[in-house]
Amino acid sequence: MNWSTIKYFLREARISLARNRLLSLATATTVSICIFILGMAILLFMNSGELIEKLESDVEIVAFLDEDLTLRERNQLEERLKKHPGVLSVSFVSRDKALASLEKKLGQGEYDLLATLEGNNPLPDSFRIKGENPRQVEQLAKELAGMQGISKLRYGQEVVRQLFAATRWVRIISVFIVVFLGAAAVFLVATTIRLTIFSRRKEIYIMKLVGATNRFIRAPFFLEGIALAGAGTVFALICLYLGYHYLLENIQPALAFLPLINDDRVLLNLFLGLGGAGIGLGIIGTFISVNRFLNV
Amino acid sequence: MYNVSKTYPNGVKALVDVTLKIERGEFVFLMGHSGAGKSTFIKLLMREELPTRGQIFVASRSVLRMKASDIPLLRRSIGVVFQDFKLLENKTVRENVAFAMQVVGASPSQIKTRVEETIRMVGLQGKEESFPSQLSGGEQQRVGIARAIVNHPLIVIADEPTGNLDVETSWEIMDLLSEINRKGTTVIMATHAQDIVRRMHKRVVYLEKGKVVSDSVGEIA
């Protein structure tokens, strides 16, 4: 294939894009919206994944101890907990310390909680236990619950479970939207290409008669499809990039506990993937039309 | 072409058991009423259609057993001229002729020299930059012929090339086709024009209802 052939392909693709301007615009826009939403959904997954991980690592089991436990019994219990498979770390929180931290949470020393409680600290001593695998906290808690000296166990699994459920729904809905829009994009690309094929059928017939290869006849259509999808994708990626950066710069400081992904390499990979997906839509759309309507 | 039959899906029997051999360098008229099978004959040679039965060889290669990827090569060895010219209206004379070379991947320098040469041969010097709509019917048909021969085909098929032209212009086109034939190219021409056929005194194959009813030199059944 020589340079003049490539120039010929490019010229043909350009001419037919200009000829069906409105439809071309609609096609590029649909691809654009599709890729934009796909990108947003993926960013949402990635960030919610990050958030879950952070929350999970915060999850710990609080084991409240029996009131009448002696120091020796307590130490023995701590040893046993530390040796239990799946336990990462164990730390002791005395009842006084627990009260102090509660006081701090409530009013940062503005009033004397102990005095209000008439000198009786109702809180028990406790161990804070971290598991090796945050996802198995529930299981671990069940295993530890029967141990002698432990009166009650608590863990923050509920939060994590709800978050999991929420992100699953986000995921399912996004997949539906993306699949639907992807199909719409493929359909529109296919329609655009089909119109081009119709408007050029005489030319195509002559090309066939003088012995152009199928590949030669198809090439301009593929270029056209790729150009349409490419333009839409590039536009979507620019919007996505600007939008996400706006989020990082303006929202992140206000919501510091939200760990937003800001790793250039991760984001670059995401953008490359989305770019590939966009071009893929163009190629699939073109392929459908070329095979159905270009009888070469 | 051996025992070739072609029945279209709608049941029309376009060709019935036709056996025909055309030698290299021959000039053959294909005659018959509309619907006698002339167009089908041409479509089979171009492998636009496949025969229902029989074998077809072009330049000793079977058209039937040809791989799909070889069809373009077959078509490059055949140049076609149409009654309605089938030129691209938005391209100039030069571009219309060059187009045929472009699509087979010729180099720009090859295209330039061959196109010049061919346009001169069909007598259209000075009209290179005109668009088809600015040309007379005869001139348009010359462009069609130039496009058909620019790739040096072995065979030129002309489907009623004079059907839309007046008598005088028709003879100019016939002279051109004769000249192409003299240079060694096989010419197969489908036509209704009896006076042309008589005066050319070439082989005439007469088709009627899909059958060859006569095959002789200079005579019309």
Question: Any idea what the CATH number is for the domain that residue B182 is in?
Answer: 3.40.50.300
- Separation in Å, CA of B28 to nearest CA in chain A: 21
Q: Pairing between strand A126-131 and A150-155?
A: unpaired
Q: What is the pLDDT of residues B4-63, one digit of tens each?
A: 777 777 777 788 888 888 888 899 998 888 878 888 888 888 888 888 888 888 888 888
DSSP, collapsed to helix, strand or coil, labels residue B113 as: helix
Q: What is the pLDDT of residues B67-83, one digit of tens each?
A: 888 888 888 889 999 88
Give the residue from chain B lying closest to A203, CA to CA: B88
- Separation in Å, CA of B202 to nearest CA in chain A: 26
Least-confidence region, from A267-271, B69-73, B202-206, B214-218: B214-218
Instruction: Domain of residue B199: give its range.
Output: 2-217
A269 touching B (Cβ < 8 Å): no
Apex B125 CA angle, B121 and B129, nearest 5: 125
Percent of chain A with pLDDT over 90: 5
Q: Give the ipTM.
A: 0.78
Domain ranges, ordered by start, for chain A: 3-55+161-293, 60-155
Interchain pair A209, B80: CB under 8 A: yes
Query: Contact, A226 vs A279, CB < 8 A?
Result: yes
State residue B168's pLDDT score. 86
Mean pLDDT of all residues in B85-110: 87
- Report the domain count for chain B: 1
Percent of chain A with pLDDT over 70: 89
State residue B140's pLDDT score. 92
Q: What is d(CA A163, CA A232) in angstroms, rounded to the nearest whole number?
A: 34
State residue B221's pLDDT score. 54
State residue B211's pLDDT score. 84
Q: What is d(CA B43, CA B58) in angstroms, rounded to the nearest whole number?
A: 13
What is the band of A72 on the pLDDT scale with cuts at 50, 70, 90?
A: confident
Interchain pair A5, B105: CB under 8 A: yes
| CATH 3.40.50.970 for domain A60-155 | no
User: What is the CB neighbour count within 10 angstroms for residue A46?
Assistant: 16
Query: How many CB pairs below 8 Å do chains A and B form together?
Result: 54
Give the residue from chain B lying closest to A1, CA to CA: B105
Task: Choose, out of B45, B67, B102, the residue to mutate when testing the contact with A (most A CBs < 10 Å).
Answer: B102
What is the band of A289 on the pLDDT scale with cuts at 50, 70, 90?
A: confident
pTM over 0.80: no
For residue B1, is pLDDT > 70? no
